[in-house]
């Protein structure tokens, strides 16, 4: 993982945001192994063969600085019972890697007010972790099946509703 250096710290402000996302670098002609393997791509709605990279960028104004990344590897092979195809899984979930990246961000005293993610990371557990464990606000795209509290009173009473 990266650490902001002293020159990077000069541009750091509370108005900065942390952008978290993953990307797939397609490698259609390469042999499948732990790193180059099949990953589901939300944008296309299908699995793509390539390298999946989880990344975090510190952004303030028109400046974007990469501050963390993890390459997703899938060393465990198994046979899918339904399709009878050999598939691969990771030892660590992307959510767990993302949490570890946020822990490093907190240890590095990264100054930002918000964490921005796409809808894949918008679970209640992730939102709670960002807000309470890492003491940041968040902006996330949300799927219509996600649960949210519409007021502080609803939150305290466990009154979360689907956002359809």
Q: What residue spans define the domains of the chain?
A: 6-118
Handedness of CA 43, 52, 59, 125 (dihedral sign): positive
Residue 145 has what pLDDT?
Answer: 79
Residue 79 has what pLDDT?
Answer: 94
> pLDDT by residue for the chain (164 residues), tens digit each?
445 555 567 777 778 899 999 999 999 999 999 999 999 998 889 999 999 999 999 999 898 989 999 999 999 999 999 999 999 999 999 989 999 999 998 888 888 889 999 888 888 888 888 998 888 899 998 878 777 888 888 888 888 888 77
Residue 5 has what pLDDT?
Answer: 56
CA distance 19 to 114: 9
Residue 8 has what pLDDT?
Answer: 60
């Amino acid at each position: 993982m990266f650490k902001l250096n002293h020159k990077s710290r000069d541009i750091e402000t509370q108005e900065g945001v942390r952008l978290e996302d993953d990307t797939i670098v397609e490698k259609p002609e390469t042999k499948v192994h732990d790193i180059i393997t099949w990953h589901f791509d939300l944008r296309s709605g299908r699995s793509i063969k390539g390298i999946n990279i989880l990344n975090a960028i510190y952004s303030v104004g028109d400046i974007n600085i990469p501050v963390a990344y993890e390459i997703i590897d899938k060393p465990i092979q198994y046979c899918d019972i339904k399709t009878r195809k050999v598939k691969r899984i990771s030892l660590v979930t992307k959510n767990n890697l993302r949490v570890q990246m946020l822990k490093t961000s907190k240890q590095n005293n990264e100054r930002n007010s918000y964490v921005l993610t796409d809808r894949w990371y918008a679970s209640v557990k992730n939102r709670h972790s960002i807000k309470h464990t890492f003491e940041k606000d968040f902006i996330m795209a949300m799927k219509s099946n996600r649960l949210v509290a519409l007021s502080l009173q609803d939150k305290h009473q466990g009154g979360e509703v689907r956002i359809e």
